[in-house]
Structure formats: structure tokens, C-alpha cells
Amino acid sequence: MSFQYLGQEVDANTEFETVIGLEVHVQLATDSKIFSKAKSRLLEGDSVSEESVNANTTEICAGHPGTLPSLNKKAVEYAIKAGLATNCKINLKSIFSRKHYFYADLPKGYQISQFDLPVCEHGSLEVELGENGAISKKIGITRIHMEEDAGKSVHLSGFSLINLNRAGTPLVEVVSEPDMRTPEEAGAYLRKLYAIVTCIGVCDGNLQEGNFRCDANVSVRPKGSTKLGTRTETKNVNSFRFVEKAIEYEMERQRQVILSGGKIIQETRLYDSQKNQTFSMRTKEEAEDYRYFPDPDLPPLIIEQSQVDILRASLPELPDQKRDRFIAQFGLTKYDATMITAGKSLAQFFETTVLGSADKNFSKIAANLLNGEAVRLLHEAGIEINESNFKPQHFSELAKMINDKLVSSTAAKQIIAILFSESTPEVGGVAGIVDREGLKQVNDLSALEPIIEKIILDNPKQAEEFRSGKEKIIGFFVGQAMKATQGKANPGMLQDLVIKKLKE
């Protein structure tokens, strides 16, 4: 069976290509809201708690008649910084518009957003793909515009409640070109954008709170076609992995719809991570349905070029620059350097760990420890490294011990788990753990010799295989010896000794 799609004959043998464009809402980390003095986030020492419903709300957030918005300068600066860090052109004149829709958590009946003249346009960022991030790809950024967030509705049985604490929180929406082709590319784009906005300090990066969330636009087309297929938009996914999974699901769903003669409907969908499926939420509004028009309460936003220049000069070292420096300075692989610079606090932590060291071997070990076991534990717990028990001093000490062959990498894993769950004294903490848990690597030949001799005696068949030329069998003996020493033997030394003893 074959069908027509995008003016082409398609059937089960047709190779499809996925086209992805992402819209990311980035919450700006200003103290107050975008158009009012109300607090936009909790600050240290605040007496109200997160649960203080409607505490951070003024007449402006509630849309009372007669109130007037006034623009938060910091929010504008943050939006411009985001644009500069993603190679955008900054529009010295931009316009705030009203985007109309009716919803209970939007008391004004419209959201203030930027429409035809956004503050930033025509940007791009580079992502690294493939093994060790060897392939670079440029993804276009269409625009970055400023807007206010809506409130929150809480639906209970038979009635709903509205919390306006979030209403008027400053956001930028970063809209990409439909340049991505695979879930991997989309994931890489999101991680890079996240690294940038957290590195320059315009977003706190809290994914659980939805402070960085993504709408994924996905369509498919026969490979080679230059036309765009009909897209669906999967809304508000706040985990990188889930965005990748939602796209994977959506591309296969669309292919099947087309190959069964159905029609892709342009619609908004939701992703259910438990079921790993997307579901239709509503058919998509077209821009004209929103009745956009310039907000008469807000004059055009005029920015001086000198202000842009000052902001550009104030940007810190960006993740790509940092990655290249880490490669050159510490001898990290591109992959390790990309991982380390993916979040601000990890990069800082790493720099403190290797402080001043010119020993590239030591730095590489430190990077591996952080990227491996440490990041895994942090990820599991859903926290950043600076919120954990981990201290750079410990990783420095541990990396040195590994470098000096005092502990094995197996033992290092155990030590990291202990550092994660216990609060450990800053100085000498790792040595203390090694002593307490008996994790010191056995480098002592005289201690290893009898162990290996016994294993060879106990396994005559394998020893014979080695002597008749099957060198691979060494792995078996090394494994047995590791077991016998509970992973504490120095693996290099062990291997040499096994060979020597087998040849005797």
C-alpha cells in the first residue's frame, strides 16, 4: 500500500526524516517580576514560603483595571545577554504586544509578549554530536522574545483554585529554526542552551520547577524532500531525556499515521513520561487567533547600542570557550570537557579540584571521577554538585591517590559513594575513608605473589591454555586475583605478575 504525503508517494519502504524545532521558555532570575514590584522568586531570608499562595502578587499581576505595567530593567538586560551569548542580533527597538486568550490563570485575558519585533533575532549555537562530540553542527535561533508567565490553576474535585505567584514572572522564549533532525541533536541543543543561560547567570536552571522548559515541534517527511511536513507541538517538557523520548515517540507515531493513510493534525500534545507516549491536548491555534496587537500601555523598548556593548563586555567565559580552554589547559577529551562545562557549578568545582595543577594525567582522572560516578549520584538525587556533600578538596585528594596508584578505580567508586552520603572532614577526609574501609590498593608484590601462585595451581587447565598460546586467558587470572583481593590489587601490576608467574 502506498500513500501521498508532501506530493510524494510513500510506503513502508520509504525512508523518513524527522524535522525538529524547539521553543524553550527560560525563566529569568530577576528578583522582581517583569512588569511589577512583586517578587518573582523566593530570596534568602524571605518570610513567605513557596506555599504562601498568592503572597507574591500585586494588582498588576492580578490584572486589575487601571493598573499599568512598568518594565523591569534587569529582565531586559538578561534577555539581551541571552541574545549576545547565542550570537543574536539585538534589536535596538522592540515591541511588546498583547496575546489574547482566555484562561482562569490569566486574569487580564491577555499575555504580554513580543510578537513582530522581538528583542533578539538571527542567532545560532553549536552542538557537538557523535562519539566524543567530534561532529559540530550549527543550529539556528530564529528569535528570543520577552514575555510574562501566567499563573497556576490547581484543579480539585468540583472546583479549581488560582495561584498568581507565578503570574508576571519574566521569561524569554528562545525559538529555534527547524534545523534538528534527530532526538540526539535536540538533546544536544537543549543541553548547550542550558549551559549558556546558566553560565551567564540569567537563569537559575531549576528544571524541577520548570524554570527551563521546552516545547518540541516535530514533523516527518520523506528523506530528501525540501518541503516541511505538518508539525505537532509537545508542550512543557522539563527534562532533556524526556524531550528526546517524546520526539522519538512522536516521529514513529507520525510515520505510522502517514503509512496507514491518516492525516497528521497540527496540534498541541502532552508527553506522559510514565507511559512514554504523547497525547493530543488541543488543536493548535494559529497566530491570528491570538489577536496580537501592540500593548498601548507599553511604549516601544528602545535600547542604546552603548548599553549592548556594556552587556557584551560583562559576559563571562562561555561554555564553548571554557570547553576549549579545558581541553588545552588540562588535556581533557572533548567529550569530558563538554560534560564538565555543561553546568556552571560542575565547571567551577572541577577548576577548584585541579587548581594550579600542570599534571594532565591527574586532571584527566579528576574529570573522569566527576563525569562518571559523581555525576551519576547527583543525577539520581536530582541535585547540583554545589548542593551536595562533595568538596573539591576530596576529589583532588582522591585523584592524587589514584594517580599515585594508592587506590584503584573500583575503590574510588566506593569512596565517592561514601563522600556523597556522609559529611567528611575537608582535609585528609579521603585518606581517613581509605583507612577505615581498608581500600588501600595492594601494590606490594610479595603480598600478591602467593595469591597468584595459588590461583594458577587451582586452575591447571587455564594455565595450560595460556602456555599453548591462548594469551587472552590472562584476563581470567587477573579477574580471579582481583576477586581474591576484593578489588584492591593494582591491576597493571597484577597483569605483569600473572604473566611472569604463568611463564615460570
By the criterion CB under 6 A, which residues form the site for ligand ADP?
19-23, 175-178, 217-219, 228-229, 231, 233
Which of Mg ion, ligand ADP, none does residue 494 bind to, with CB < 5 to 8 Å depending on kind? none
Nearer CB in complex with Mg ion: 23/105 = 23
Pick one of Mg ion, ligand ADP, none as the site partner of residue 22 (Cβ within 5 to 8 A by kind).
ligand ADP
- Please, what is the minimum distance in Å from the beta carbon of residue 427 to ligand ADP? 51
The nearer residue to Mg ion, 23 or 317, going by C-beta atoms, is 23
**Share of the chain residues as helix, strand and coil, in percent rounded to the nearest 5:** 40, 20, 40
The DSSP-derived string for 449-499 is: HHHHHHHHHH-HHHHHHHHTT-GGGHHHHHHHHHHHTTT-B-HHHHHHHHH
Amino acid identity of 480? Q
Alpha-carbon span 189 to 126, nearest angstrom: 8
Give the nearest distance from C-beta 143 to Mg ion in angstroms. Answer: 12
The answer to whether the beta carbons of residues 38 and 164 sit under 8 Å apart is no
Q: What phi, psi does 167 have (nearest 5°)?
A: -65, 125
Residue 61 in grid coordinates: 499581576
Phi-psi region at 159: left, alpha or beta (left = phi > 0; alpha = psi -120 to 50): beta
Smallest separation (angstroms) from ligand ADP to the CB of 2: 22
Q: Output 278 or 353, the one with its CB closest to Mg ion.
A: 278
| Residue 175 interacts with which of ligand ADP, Mg ion, none, CB < 5 to 8 Å by class | ligand ADP
**133: Cβ–Cβ under 8 A, 6 or more apart, which residues?**
334, 335, 338
Minimum distance, C-beta of residue 486 to Mg ion, in the bound complex (Å): 56
Q: 174 vs 412, which CB is nearer to ligand ADP?
A: 174
- Please report how close the Cβ of residue 226 comes to ligand ADP at its closest, in angstroms: 12
Nearest to 38 by CA among 17, 69, 12: 69
- Contacting Mg ion within 379-438 (CB under 5 A): none
Nearer to ligand ADP among residue 170 and residue 229 (C-beta): 229
Report residue 486 as a C-alpha cell. 576484593
Which of Mg ion, ligand ADP, none lies near 228, with the C-beta cut-off 5 to 8 A by kind?
A: ligand ADP
Best CA proximity match to 202, nearest among 26, 384, 24, 72: 26
Start-end of H helices in 136-294: 183-199, 240-259
CA distance 437 to 406: 14
**Which one, 266 or 348, has the nearer CB to Mg ion?**
266
Q: How far is the CB of 140 from ligand ADP (least distance, A)?
A: 8
Whole-angstrom distance, CA of residue 20 vs CA of residue 217: 6
- Between 22 and 85, whose beta carbon lies closer to ligand ADP? 22
Contact flags string 12-51 toward Mg ion, x per CB under 5 A: -----------x----------------------------
Tell the smallest beta-carbon distance from residue 266 to ligand ADP (Å): 9
Query: Out of ligand ADP, Mg ion, none, which partner does residue 178 contact, by CB within 5 to 8 A per kind?
Result: ligand ADP
CB closest to ligand ADP, residue no: 21
Q: Smallest distance from the beta carbon of 346 to ligand ADP, in angstroms?
A: 28
Size, binding site for Mg ion by CB under 5 A: 1
Question: Nearer to ligand ADP by C-beta: 175 or 340?
Answer: 175
Q: How far, in Å, CA of 466 to CA of 152, rounded?
A: 70
Residues that bind Mg ion (CB under 5 A): 23
